[in-house]
Amino acid sequence: MLAIARALVARPRLLLLDEPSLGLAPRVTADIMKLLRALCDSTGLTVLLVEQNVRSALAVADRGVVLSLGRVVVATDAHSLAADDTLRHSYLGF
């Protein structure tokens, strides 16, 4: 959380985050995801989020990209990605 705050002090237009939920309690993870969504909505900040916690990431994302062995399998809006049962079971694990 401190690393995110420190990065935001510079007022970036693009924020790159790799696994911000790693090792955090589910409630803290939810708070961070809500904060990221609010930042995007209120400031126009673009966030590139790499996250294994697919449910929480897709809940706040505009778009999603699924990679398999370094190749793009699908890239679409987050809602469509979360709604595709075949894709969810095959690649996203839920």
- Architecture of the domain whose range is 12-92: 3-Layer(aba) Sandwich (3.40)
Where residue 19 falls (left for φ over 0; alpha for ψ -120 to 50; beta otherwise) is left
Residue 38: per-residue pLDDT = 94
Domain ranges of the chain: 12-92
Its pTM stands at 0.82
CA distance linking residue 68 with residue 28, whole number of Å: 28
> Six-digit token pair at 49?
């989020």
Residue 55: per-residue pLDDT = 87
- Tens digits of pLDDT across the chain (94 residues): 788 899 999 999 999 999 999 999 999 999 999 999 999 999 999 999 999 888 899 999 999 998 889 999 899 999 999 898 888 777 777 7
Residue 91: per-residue pLDDT = 76
For residue 66, CA distances in Å to 21, 27, 62, 77, 90 come to: 18, 25, 14, 11, 11
Cβ-Cβ contacts under 8 Å for 59 (sequence gap 6 or more):
33, 78, 82
